[in-house]
Amino acid sequence: MEMDAIARLAARDATLFADPGIAAERLGWVGLPAAASETAADFMAIGDSAAAAGMTDVVLLGMGGSSLAPLVLSRALPRTAGHPVLHVLDTTSPQAVGALLDSLDPASTLVIVSSKSGTSIEPLSLHGIFRSWAVEALGATAPEHFIAITDPGTPLDELSVREFGITVHAPADVGGRYAALTPFATFPAALIGVDVERLATVAGELEDSCRAAGDDNPALALASWMADAYAAGRDKLTIVCSRGLAPFGLWVEQLVAESTGKGGRGILPVLETHPGLPDAHGADRMTFVLRETDDDALAGLGARLPEGEPVFEVVVDDAYALGAEFVHWEWAVALFSAVAGIECFDQPDVESAKAATRAILAKAEAAPSRTALASGVKVAASPGITLTGLQEAVDDLLTRVTAGGYLAVLAYLPEDEDLLAPLRAACDAVSLARDVPVTLELGPRYLHSTGQLHKGGPAEGVFLVVTTAEGVDMPVPGQPFTLAELHAAQPAGDVAALADRGRPVLAVELPGTADIADVVAALTCAVEA
């Protein structure tokens, strides 16, 4: 990899990238650690004030780049005693939204509406619901409990002047997936008592190393490793983290998939649970390991991988090192993309699913037609897939997963490990039996992450979309649709977009969450088919 790429990236040279016009407006993340350090004291003071005022909970309404980094920080870093708990609500499930509302006291809750564009349908819809909830309980003081994080001049920015207590501006020249050290992450983190000054300092030290010429440049090392593996046909990036650092994988997943999955090319991130699944690895894998110094189980993963599989390992002392890893990966993915000729700052195929969702909500397009099966299960599929029964449909779908391909299970289910654990186990069983990567993604979160690669990357994926009948609903103030209608339109829009790209897709709607056992059984049986 040419060393002048380092100097050009450090200088924010947009001509380094495939589309300089796009890159010129998206390089503000270079130098972000210093900017994050400048705002740290003010943000932490606001966090201390919120704690002193008796705030017990903070709800963040956001998707993708507006939600993943704060989710990582809230789960991996310790919350300071007396500071509120952060709930990242990146779902449109009425069941999940209702359950969270029922658990909160409006008087001690802050609500952050987080959207770079200020137009994202999910956080704005949820804002209407939370605002009505707060006004009913708090009356004229409700706006004091609302915070907007957005770019200057967006519709959300304009709304916040009238209806929010605090507005925090994010830099307009930083795209969502590169926003880990912008206020989208550092402000919510400060509210729960994370030492964002320390986080920024660690990040700044790593960025200094990324700017340097020579073999010790960590970004150059990671980008070169990715490029060499990719050139050798290894386009599946396995990510395995120590248990306390596991949330970091969700952020890397979006960065890699949404940056590289364009024009029929790209790298598929595969998140494996600790301590990895080496027996499922084929010749298309490379593996990144992020482990804590005392994680002996993960230290031995390299020795258990197939001979010749490229491994890149980072060892950290504590979770604040994630500040450095944000920078490490941002620089490396940008460098890899520049050398590969992939425009890493746009996401055209994310927009295709959004457009299909809007058309379905507006009744301008019909959702994919569904066939009723036994026990209340309904299915829809791309042309040619057998729909005589759930098992037959899953069996047929999996025959379409070929060597070098992958299965993505896209589940619109609550983030409840008791519910998801059997599904994860079934996905692992398929992966082991068929020697292919199987990813389990939660919707609608994945639409703003791997959804770009699913449709814009290599035509290698086969997709199983799992939804459930919600059974509950709530109005969305100011909108002609309800929350359940939005929640149903999102997977329907993605199924339509996938099918339009010629991707094999099977959509299964279950009567309720308990019926996920039927999908687990079908996947498990399909292992032997």
Q: Is 143 left (phi over 0), alpha (psi -120 to 50) or beta?
A: alpha
Asked whether 203 and 81 are in contact (CB, 8 A), the reply is no
Cα dihedral across residues 437, 443, 445, 448: positive or negative: positive
Q: Which residues of 174-205 are buried (b: 16+ CB within 10 A; e: fewer)?
A: bbbbbbbbbbbbbbbbbbbbbbbbebbbbbbe
- For 32-199, CATH number out of 2.40.170.20, 3.40.50.1010, 3.40.50.10490, 3.30.460.10 equals 3.40.50.10490
Asked whether 410 and 400 are in contact (CB, 8 A), the reply is no
Asked whether 365 and 496 are in contact (CB, 8 A), the reply is yes
Asked whether 254 and 278 are in contact (CB, 8 A), the reply is no
- Selection from 255, 251, 310, 250 nearest residue 285 by Cα: 310
Name 287's bridge partners. Answer: 238, 311
CATH topology for the 6-17+215-340 domain? Rossmann fold (3.40.50)
Measured between alpha carbons, how far is 307 from 408 in angstroms, rounded to an integer? 26
Asked whether 114 and 127 are in contact (CB, 8 A), the reply is no
| Tokens matching residue 218 | 């960590």
Residue given tokens 């994860």 in the structure block: 424
Give all strands of the β-sheet with 311-316 in edge-to-edge order.
268-272, 236-241, 285-292, 311-316
Give all strands of the β-sheet with 461-468 in edge-to-edge order.
371-372, 378-381, 505-510, 461-468, 406-411, 438-442
pLDDT at 215: 81
- Provide the greatest CA pair distance for the chain: 65
Asked whether 231 and 48 are in contact (CB, 8 A), the reply is no
| Tokens matching residue 61 | 């309404």
β pairing state of 406-411 and 438-442: parallel
Tell me, what DSSP letter sits at residue 482?
Answer: B
pTM above 0.95, yes or no: yes
pLDDT at 528: 65
Is the fold of 6-17+215-340 the same as that of 32-199? yes
Does CATH place domain 348-526 in 3.40.50.10490?
yes
| Averaged pLDDT, groups of 10, the chain, 529 residues long | 84 97 97 98 98 98 96 96 98 96 98 97 97 98 98 97 96 96 98 98 98 91 98 98 97 98 97 97 98 96 96 97 98 97 95 93 91 93 94 96 96 94 96 96 96 97 95 94 97 96 96 93 83
Asked whether 182 and 151 are in contact (CB, 8 A), the reply is no
CA distances from 170 to 24, 139, 439, 478 (A): 17, 29, 32, 26
Q: Give domain limits for the chain.
A: 6-17+215-340, 32-199, 348-526
Asked whether 94 and 101 are in contact (CB, 8 A), the reply is no
| Tokens matching residue 147 | 């915070």
Residue given tokens 């998206």 in the structure block: 26
pLDDT at 3: 59
H or E element: which one contains 493?
A: helix 483-500
